[in-house]
Amino acid sequence: MITLLTYAPSFGQPAASPFCVKAMMLLNLAGAVWAPEYINDPRKMPYAKLPAIRVNGEIIADSDNIRAWLEGQGADFDKGLDARQKAYSRALIRMAEEHLYFHVVHDRWVNEDVWTVTRDTYFKMIPRPIRKFVTGKIRKPVIASIHQMGIGRFSPKERLARAEPDIQAIKDLLTGPFLFGDKPTAADVSVASQLAGMMATPVATLLGDRLRGDAKLVAYVERMNEATL
């Protein structure tokens, strides 16, 4: 039995983090038997982040490492893909996780209107009288990291313009049900979990509205959810 150490469900998603949703999709695609254990504070994790899995007392942290572990057990998430498709897959995964992800973080943590909802969802276990103070300390380095990586310096319109070519690239590749044909692969897992995270933003934002209004992408995420969750 595998235990997935994950954030709790929120905003209609099975976990607050797209990376935890990704791990769930990978586990299901691999046919693994697993159960979630919900964790609020990731500081004791090997990288102080979630997701991680626990197998026979061993912790495997980071969604890419979870993928590698599952592949070591025999899973093949890219069955039938040739070397060129696997190379595209790698690039798509990095685009989703190292660029689009930060737009999800910006929308949830930096945007003032969304932040109050994020705060009262993610940190509802912190008593209300001290919640604003405590979460302000948690939020500060997140805002700093988004500023550091760059998109924190953009206006909402500039942020949307930066994300748009990525979104269009995903749409252009979606000539079938999934990115590489009739079956979900590792790239779909990473891309769809980040798109779902963007769509789940609980308050209207330019990016959230852009994605929620895109019938092709909404249908794609629904297809992925049906196939993998």
Ligand X SMILES: N[C@@H](CCC(=O)N[C@@H](CS)C(=O)NCC(=O)O)C(=O)O
User: Which stretches of the chain bind ligand X, using CB under 6 A?
Assistant: 17, 19, 42, 48-51, 62-64
Q: Which residues make beta-bridge pairs with 175?
A: none
State how far the Cα of 32 lies from the Cα of 21, in Å rounded to an integer.
15
CB closer to ligand X out of 51 and 152:
51
Shortest Å, Cβ 125 to ligand X? 16
CB closer to ligand X out of 166 and 177:
166
CB closer to ligand X out of 53 and 211:
53
CB neighbours of residue 173 within 10 Å:
15
Shortest Å, Cβ 51 to ligand X? 6
Place of tokens 């609020």: 40
CB closer to ligand X out of 41 and 158:
41
CA 104 to chain CA centroid, Å, is: 8
Transcribe 127-148 into DSSP letters: -HHHHHHHHHHHHHHHHHHHHH
State how far the Cα of 103 lies from the Cα of 82, in Å rounded to an integer.
31
Shortest Å, Cβ 188 to ligand X? 16
Shortest Å, Cβ 22 to ligand X? 7
